[in-house]
Structure 1
Amino acid sequence: MNEHRTRVWDIPTRLFHWALAALVVAAVVSVKIGGNAMEWHGRFGHAILGLIVFRLVWGVIGSTYARFAHFVRGPGAIREYMAGRWSGVGHNPLGALSVVALLAVVTFQSTTGLFSNDDIAFSGPLAAAVSSDTSTWLSGWHRRMEWVIYGLVALHVAAVLFYVLFRREDIVTPMVTGYRATRVPHPPARGGGVVAFVVALALAAGTVWATSGVFVEPPPPPPANTPAW
């Protein structure tokens, strides 16, 4: 049976995928090291936030299969997929749930990290914008959600292995090359050109800058000790 090569994933989507994976690993390693590495943990988390903003914008104005409107479906589409009646390309309706869950949790994690502290020497760039109690509360949630990320990542990797080893569907190579072999022809991804990329990149960069603490008033200097005479 002839196979058809379909352009599925554009370059920005692929770069986002692998950059996010690398930054999440770097953030986990740096937080486990602790100490001075916490500064890098904060930088990695801030970069992740920028990536997430880029992907959210790209999910609206990017190319065909990267758009949320294309792959985020309702329960009906999931039932069709589970019954073996789905024949699309890109994220399948069940895999879309994993994508949305990962984006939501990583967004929560990177956002709470902006306001967090480690009770020692590190504080997020927006920690001074909230009360100490609020920063401590958000820090607690930031630490607890770490285990949710581990679970979702493990589930994601397990799903990839299942498709590759048991269903004999290569879903890794398309995220490298951008093309997927299909038994029936599908329309190639369209849209998501240079203008869309620049807009998404600008909004991501603007978010990183705006959340860097540039608008947060620095704490007042400690009062000078007055001699008691």
Structure 2
Amino acid sequence: MSRGVRVWDLSVRSFHWLAVGCFAFSWWSAENGRMDLHYRSGLCMLAMLAFRLILGLIGGDTARFASFVKGPGAVVAQLRGRLHQPSVGHSPLSALSVVAMLLALSAQIGTGLFATDVDGLESGPLSFLVSFDTGRAAAAWHEASFNALLWLTGLHVAAVLFYLLARRRDYLTPMISGRDRQIDEAMAEPRPSKMVAATFAAGVAVLLAWSVSNGLWL
């Protein structure tokens, strides 16, 4: 059996699955009134988002935004089935999904930092920087961005299932193992994220979350 091509390095896969778990836990903690856990989960999400955004600038080939975010022409070509070669990593269309989900996640986390509940008892770590009315508006946008994330997640899962069942193209297994066995081994293997880049991104992300949790500024 073909070993395929290593597409996703450990840093990208770790972010993907930790974000899935943390997002689900954030929903559970909010639904069950465990705002102490929701608060901590939000800080973890902040760290993970910062980690992914930094990797998008200095990470490996399939993590770097400049390598997979394409213009509208490439997206139209994919929709019309005119791509000249299979994508190693994100296709032009899936890149739009990644960008949309990261933007929605940024809105979700950012508004949560400033959100204030009706009684002013449960508030985000940076809510002291804004007025009560602004904090309440942030809470409303926090809920709206959560709903947007649910829709985007549903579309993402539906797309993965569509390609698996209708096109016989498996995008799930490579995100678990890192290797895509449906890509010709003759194709050049993308450069993974360097350890120093991943370590730097993780360090900055943790420092950012710690600073926010303590109301400090870098």
Question: Which category describes the TM-score, using the shorter chain as reference length?
Answer: over 0.9
User: Cα distance, 1:191 vs. partner?
Assistant: 4.2
CA distance in 1, matches of 2:212, 2:170: 39
Distance in 1 separating the partners of 2:76 and 2:162: 19
Gaps in structure 2 of 5+ consecutive residues: none
Give CA-to-partner distance per residue, 1:56-78, whole Å, 9 cap, x none: 11111111111111110011111
Which AA in structure 1 matches 2:80?
A: A
Q: Percent identity?
A: 40
Matches within 5 A, 1:147-166: 147-166=147-166
Other structure's SS at 2:172 match: coil
Structure 1 segments of 4+ aligned residues over 3 angstroms from their partners = none
Preserved contact between residue 68 and residue 90 of structure 2 (Cα < 8 Å): yes
Equivalent-residue separation in structure 2 for 1:16 and 1:215 (angstroms): 25
Structure 1: gaps (5+ residues): 217-229
Cα distance in 2 for partners of 1:48, 1:62 equals: 19
Residues 126 and 213 in structure 1, CA contact (< 8 A), matched pair in contact too:
no
Whole-angstrom distance in 2 between the partners of 1:151 and 1:10: 27
Superposition deviation, residue 183 in structure 1 = 4.7
Q: 2:50 pairs with 53, 62, 73, which one?
A: 53
Q: Once the 2 structures are TM-superposed, how far is the Cα of residue 190 of structure 1 from its aligned partner?
A: 1.1
Partner Cα distance (2:107, 2:8) in 1 = 26
Q: Is the 8 A contact 1:4 1:182 kept in 2?
A: no
CA RMSD after TM alignment: 1.6
Deviations 1:147-178 (A, max 9, x none): 11111111111111111111111111100111
Q: How many residues end up aligned between the 2 structures? A: 213
- 2:29 aligned counterpart, secondary structure: helix
State the partner residue of 2:190: 189
Are 2:78 and 1:81 equivalent residues in the alignment? yes
Q: Give the whole-Å Cα distance in 2 for the aligned partners of 1:142 and 1:177.
A: 33
Higher Cα Rg: structure 1 or 2? 1
Give a deviation string over 1:75-100, Cα, whole Å, max 9, x none.
Answer: 11112212223222111111111110
